Amino acid sequence: MHLEDPCLAAITAATRQAYDENAAQYAGRTDDFASFPGLEGELERFRAVLPEGRVLDLGCGAGRDTRHLISRGREVISGDLSIELLRLTERWPNTRLVQLDLMSLPFRDGSFAGVWASGSLLHTPSAAHPRAFSEIYRVLAGRGATAISLRDGEGEGWRRGVRMDDERWFTLRHPDHVVQELASAGFTSIRWTHCGRGDWFIVEAVKPWVPTRQDAGRTESA
């Protein structure tokens, strides 16, 4: 699926509108970890494997996971499609906010030590996922890690969820298919596990470090 695909553009616009119009409701229903069994542990496991550097909270919502990462000493960039959710996130100190579309991330190559994407791709058509995975790969530095949460199953389309009254696009994926697409994007050390939240699963992967000519020169002169 290409960026200019009218179907993708319509889904993206509708998703942005839904979150903008229901930001307060969504924030109130997702503000803590109590309603999301296992999520805090997944976030801690992700944080523990990261090299030094900034973390991108991709699809940060109202900032729950951003706040946790900052409290653990990480520098975080909070990115979301919804400007109204970002306005709620800016209440928290030491947070840099960026409105973005995950299909075309506004960052330089190798900008981040980690990309945390909890549920972000759930509202993007499956045909667009390989492009999003490639963007995550691009903005990660070598040895950087990503953790991506999705829901297990088949099918996609418009429906209502439990966190918001308005309809949104939902995409269900088989974990093995996601693993294959991440491998095609260049990731290694890929593994997935079911979460403690019904049909949710999380996939973790690493961008390999590739020596540059400059690195090789240092080795030879050492």
Q: How is the chain split into domains, by residue range?
A: 6-221
Q: Which CATH code is given to the segment(s) 6-221?
A: 3.40.50.150
Q: List, in sequence order, every residue forming a beta bridge with 117; answer none if it has no partner.
A: 148
Q: What are phi and psi of 130, to 5 degrees?
A: -55, -40
Note the pTM of the prediction, 2 decimals: 0.92
Question: Which DSSP letter does residue 55 get?
Answer: E
- Indicate the helix (H) or strand (E) that contains 7: helix 6-21
- Indicate the helix (H) or strand (E) that contains 190: strand 188-194
* The two structure tokens encoding residue 211: 């020596």
Closest CA to 33 of 57, 59, 65: 65
Tens of pLDDT along the chain (222 residues)?
555 577 899 999 999 999 999 999 999 999 889 889 999 999 999 999 999 999 999 999 999 999 999 999 999 999 999 999 999 887 767 779 999 999 999 999 999 999 999 999 999 999 999 999 999 999 999 999 999 999 999 999 999 887 888 889 999 999 999 999 999 999 999 999 999 888 999 999 999 997 755 554 544 443
